[in-house]
Chains A and B, each alone.
Chain A
Amino acid sequence: MNSVLTYVALSMALFVIGAIGVCLRRNAIVVFMCIEMMLNAVNLAFVAFSKLHGNLDGQIAVFFVMVIAAAESAIGLAIILSVFRSVASVETTDAGELKW
Chain B
Amino acid sequence: MSFIGFVIGVVAIVSGVCVVGLRNPLYSAFALVTNLLAMAGLYAALDAHFLAVSQVVVYAGAIMVLVLFVLMLLNLKSESGRKLGFIRSAVALVIGCVVLLSALPPVFARFAGMSEVTVSDNARDSEGTVKAIGQELYTKYVAQFELSSLVLLIGVVGAVMLSKRRSVTLQPRAGGLVGGSK
Partner of A7, one of B46, B55, B125, B141: B46
CB distance from B61 to the nearest CB of A (A): 11
Residues of B with C-beta under 8 A to A4: 46, 111, 119
User: How big is chain B's contact interface, by range?
Assistant: 35 or more
Residues of A with C-beta under 8 A to B116: 2-3
The total of chain A residues at the interface (CB under 8 A) is: 70
Partner of B59, one of A8, A36, A55: A36
Of the candidates A62, A63, A90, the one having the most CB atoms from chain B within 10 angstroms of its own CB is A63
Closest A residue by C-beta to B108? A5
Interface pair B35/A40, CB less than 8 Å apart: yes
| 13 intermolecular pairs with C-beta atoms under 8 Å apart | A3-B2, A3-B5, A6-B5, A7-B5, A10-B12, A12-B99, A16-B99, A20-B92, A33-B32, A33-B67, A57-B136, A74-B66, A77-B67
Main SS class of interface, A: helix
Give bound CA distance, A28 to B88, whole Å.
18
Main SS class of interface, B: helix
Mark each residue of chain B from 14 to 27: 1 if its CB lies under 8 Å from any CB of chain A, else 0. Answer: 00110110000100
Give bound CA distance, A85 to B132, whole Å.
46
Partner of A44, one of B42, B71, B103: B42
Give bound CA distance, A26 to B158, whole Å.
25
Interface pair A40/B163, CB less than 8 Å apart: no
Partner of A70, one of B39, B62, B67, B115: B62
Residues of B with C-beta under 8 A to A2: 111-112, 114-116, 119
Residues of A with C-beta under 8 A to B58: 66, 69-70
Residues of B with C-beta under 8 A to A40: 35-36, 39, 59
Interface pair A64/B148, CB less than 8 Å apart: yes
Q: Does B178 contact A (CB under 8 A)?
A: no
Partner of B46, one of A47, A67, A84, A90: A47
Residues of A with C-beta under 8 A to B12: 10, 14
Known: A44-B43, A60-B136. 9 other contacts (CB 8 A): A4-B46, A27-B25, A37-B19, A50-B128, A51-B119, A54-B119, A56-B132, A70-B155, A71-B154
